[in-house]
Structure 1
Amino acid sequence: MVVIVGAGPVGLMVALELTRRGTKPVVLETLATPNRLPKANGIVGRAVPMLHERGLYEPLTGKKQPRPAPRFMYGGFPLDLRRLADNPVHLLPVPQRRLEAVLAQHAEAAGVEIRHAHTVNGITQTPDTVTVDVEGPTGPYTMRATHLVGADGAHSSVRKAVGITFDGTSADDVVTRSGHLVLPPRDLTRVTGRLRGPGGPYRPYLFHCTPKGVFSFARFSGAGPHLVTTLEWGQEVDDTVPMTVGELRDSLTRVLGRPVLAAAPPPAEGPHVLRRGTSRQNRIASTYRAGRILLAGDAAHVVAGFGGPLLNLGLLDAIDLAARITTDDVDGYDQARRPHADNVLAAAKEQEALLRPGQETDQRRKEFAAYLATETGLRRVANTIAGG
């Protein structure tokens, strides 16, 4: 038996892959009910066609098969991916809670047992087994497994329990704000929905650089509110004070360069995003494996990326790891997957260098624009976005 800790997308994907290969796992989840708070807005990369191969794309989207994305973004640059004959970039724009629900339905239909409100309190292992102490709704109990998978997020209790360090850096020189706002119709162009402003109008679904920072805006659900994100450098913020709609509106006004009379969306349409980040975390576990205990997804790596690379990375971790567990070949897991996390980290650093305001960035962006105009440059960036 394999025990998986964490019933998020990565843990559920591991469970589905194990089941597909003839192994029935048990999934332990601390939360009593699935988390409805907004998280990721979709998947970008090679995980999308992999989901299609497993019969999951149509249940998630209602469409028969994925097609390469004609456009995307990188470092604030719009990319015309139609220039590539073998474009590797695929998009699956579904909220994470929808992804989790569909994966859970398929896992349970395949016979996977998902135990909510079950917390891991202790882990010990021998060369042949892993013993897991669990606290459930009716009391404590013990499980024995051939392998334990920690897919329990950035604050992974599994990673901490086995003493794996989470190496990396925290950057506190940029404030990130995200939230749902109702943008006034007069601020948007009627046909394309672009945001009016100095240097604009600005297209949705892209990061836009201005002399004061970076912003993006997009609708992910029909005619609902826009999800607005801003990045500002060199600010001091009291992070003990909760984020407000007014704070986000003021930030957008500063970055855009003109007042925006945006409003909060109706509470009944929620839950809505409203969050501030004052520390950008870039961390990768010192090892993805400790004996028969393995890490996947955010438990193994957290990167302050742009363009939604982490779900793609985590789902591909899950597919690789499940295959290795069922063939008893976990020795190479860390070596196989770590380079992909390193690539996401390198891409995040490159994009931040292209987005940060300043004269040095202006010159860097001119050089990068020329690079993207070549097929070699566009292909390298497309492969970076697609991940692996």
Structure 2
Amino acid sequence: MRTTTHTETVVVGGGPVGMLIAAELGAYGIDVVVLEEKDATSARPKAGTLHARAVQALTRRGYLGLPRSSDAPVTEPFHFAGMPGLTITVPAAEPEPILKRAQADLEREFEARARERGATVLRGHRVTALRQGPDGVEVVAEGPGGEHTVHARYLVGADGARSTVRREAGFTEDTHPATVSAMMGLVRLTEPDKAPRGWCRTERGWVIAKPVRDGHSLVRTLDCEGPHPDRHTRATVRDLRDEASRIAGYDIPMEDALSVTRFSDFTRLVRHYREGRVFLAGDAAHVHFPIGGQGLSTGVVDALNLSWKLAHTLRGTAGEGLLDTYDAERRPAAQRVVDNTRVQLTLMRPAAELDPLRAMVTELLALDETRRHVGDLISAQETVYPARSGTGSRWEGRFLENMTVSGGAEPRDLTGLLSGTRPLLLLSGGRAAAYGESARGWAHVLNTVVASPDAALPCDALLVRPDGHVAWASDAGDLTDALRLWFGEPR
């Protein structure tokens, strides 16, 4: 049987990135269809770390419900290339720097939110073809009921590293071939005292073991001698045991594997995140060695960056070229992740000649400035998007730290004010009334808030995007020019 659906946006891929995009578009009232090949969310261990910027951005959008960490900056230890000494620090009033949350749990939460907001989620649908025209896209999928065709104005490919959308839409890419072989398994260690604790490097590679739940441990191995001859060969608990034991130099008994997978350091980054009416997000756009838990966070921020721009475009409240800023902002951020993971893998190679380099990096991580810089890099808190106005504001493109904006019986902070769908115009000082008058033509778009006198705004006026980044600040340029640039003509 053949069926046809017409919608505003189709999202291919129902992992956490695709479901988050659907949930965000649904919040704006956008009609969206999700096509996902799997019948249900996979419980196989994948990513399990959300870093500070992703946590902060999701909290602003009302997903995590996390409390403020404290009234002072909070620091949490992490690692760099398996070496201790790194710390990740967040400003006061932000959530804790690192959130451990299984990818499968996030996917379920985002899917539930997407469905609540009216998204149509079609599981068991494998995309077989797509065609793009001047006014929209057509996606063909095979599902339980036969062939299903979806017509949409825009398409987002969030269908993972082996993306059908990336291939069918003709995205060009830069790649680096695999040079190492790695494995990961959720297993029961029958002699836990024999297993290494934490990160263990030998002259043959790495074994990392961590207890998780129900008597099982997450065991990972890294063999730097070369890639596996056939990475897609099904891995078994015996394979993982043999590899871990060989690298460690002694037997590490294990059984009862809930999952065992292979991976490598194969790297891919598409040259553009947009091809006409087709966009890529998450692993469909960027793949890298999964050190430091940065992949899931990068995909989450991709989703939050693209969704509000796509929604405003579909609603006719977007400035010219708004959708092009997605590529301009998110591809450089992914390049930074690709580069730092390659650096970390270089430091992890067990060759003795790298020992002086490792020793120097360890010394550098002992310095406060270096530790803060690298921590901000890993957690994406150093990301500043390029300015569009050309006026040289020192705030434009930066992520605005959380702060109390208005006091009284029910104080409001920045995080709470951004949980809706509207960008935020924050005003303070003697010119608040004048700025408010200038913005009247965009009242259909903006949430305008006059801050209390004791609010610590960095400028008299700030235009804050739904994803938490500053679009305009009063230290440079005209407000009406900025509003036109981002949100089109006034009404």
TM-score (norm 1): 0.84
| CA distance 1:106–1:364, shift in 2 (3 Å) | same
Cα RMSD of the aligned pairs, angstroms, is 2.6
Over residues 121-172 of structure 1, what are the superposed CA-to-partner deviations in whole Å (9 max), with x where a residue is unaligned?
A: 3322333322333433333343322211011111111111111123211123
Tell me, in whole angstroms, the C-alpha distance in 2 between the residues paired with 1:274 and 1:263.
Answer: 12
Letter in 1 for 2:268: R
* Contact 2:13 2:159 (C-alpha < 8 Å) held by counterparts: yes
Question: Does 1:361 find its partner at 2:354?
Answer: yes
Tell me, in whole angstroms, the C-alpha distance in 2 between the residues paired with 1:158 and 1:241.
Answer: 24
SS at match of 1:74: coil
Tell me, in whole angstroms, the C-alpha distance in 1 between the residues paired with 2:98 and 2:288.
Answer: 19
* Contact 1:93 1:220 (C-alpha < 8 Å) held by counterparts: no
* Contact 1:180 1:264 (C-alpha < 8 Å) held by counterparts: no
Aligned to 2:47: 40
| CA distance 1:135–1:168, shift in 2 (3 Å) | same
Identity of aligned residues (%): 34
Structure 1 gaps of 5+ residues are 189-194, 197-201
Aligned to 2:156: 149
Match of 1:56 among 57, 63, 81: 63
Structure 2 gaps of 5+ residues are 1-7, 314-321, 384-491
| CA distance 1:305–1:107, shift in 2 (3 Å) | same
SS at match of 1:334: helix
Match of 1:382 among 366, 375, 387: 375
Deviates more, 1:29-38 or 1:300-309: 29-38
Question: Does 1:228 find its partner at 2:219?
Answer: yes
| 1:104-123 correspondence runs (5 A) | 104-123=111-130
Which has the larger Rg?
Answer: 2
Query: How many equivalent residue pairs?
Result: 361
Match of 1:264 among 251, 255, 258: 255
Query: How far apart are residue 342 of structure 1 and its match?
Result: 0.5
SS at match of 1:3: strand
Over residues 220-245 of structure 1, what are the superposed CA-to-partner deviations in whole Å (9 max), with x where a residue is unaligned?
A: 33x43111111122268554864332
SS at match of 1:79: coil
Aligned to 1:137: 144
Deviates more, 1:237-246 or 1:334-343: 237-246
Tell me, in whole angstroms, the C-alpha distance in 1 between the residues paired with 2:87 and 2:278.
Answer: 40
Question: Does 1:288 find its partner at 2:295?
Answer: no
* Contact 1:133 1:140 (C-alpha < 8 Å) held by counterparts: yes
Over residues 237-281 of structure 1, what are the superposed CA-to-partner deviations in whole Å (9 max), with x where a residue is unaligned?
A: 554864332332233233334433x2213x6xxxx221233x421
Question: Does 1:276 find its partner at 2:269?
Answer: no
| CA distance 1:183–1:65, shift in 2 (3 Å) | farther
Match of 1:325 among 275, 297, 310: 310
Tell me, in whole angstroms, the C-alpha distance in 2 between the residues paired with 1:241 and 1:18.
Answer: 38
| CA distance 1:235–1:347, shift in 2 (3 Å) | closer
Tell me, in whole angstroms, the C-alpha distance in 1 between the residues paired with 2:86 and 2:225.
Answer: 33
Moved over 4 A (4+): 63-69, 82-89, 235-238
Match of 2:27 among 20, 29, 36: 20
Letter in 1 for 2:285: A
Letter in 2 for 1:275: T
Question: Does 1:182 find its partner at 2:206?
Answer: no
Tell me, in whole angstroms, the C-alpha distance in 2 between the residues paired with 1:236 and 1:168.
Answer: 15
Over residues 83-124 of structure 1, what are the superposed CA-to-partner deviations in whole Å (9 max), with x where a residue is unaligned?
A: 887799722222221111111111111211111122333322
TM-score (norm 2): 0.68
* Contact 2:206 2:247 (C-alpha < 8 Å) held by counterparts: yes
Instruction: Answer 1 or 2: higher relative contact order, Cα 8 Å, separation at least 6.
Output: 1
* Contact 2:177 2:265 (C-alpha < 8 Å) held by counterparts: yes
Aligned to 2:241: 249
Aligned to 1:309: 294
Tell me, in whole angstroms, the C-alpha distance in 1 between the residues paired with 2:77 and 2:310.
Answer: 37
Tell me, in whole angstroms, the C-alpha distance in 2 between the residues paired with 1:214 and 1:20.
Answer: 44
Deviates more, 1:126-135 or 1:373-382: 126-135
Match of 2:363 among 362, 365, 370: 370
Q: As a proportion of its length, which structure holds more helix? A: 1
| CA distance 1:282–1:180, shift in 2 (3 Å) | same
| CA distance 1:12–1:263, shift in 2 (3 Å) | same
SS at match of 2:150: strand
Tell me, in whole angstroms, the C-alpha distance in 2 between the residues paired with 1:144 and 1:241.
Answer: 37
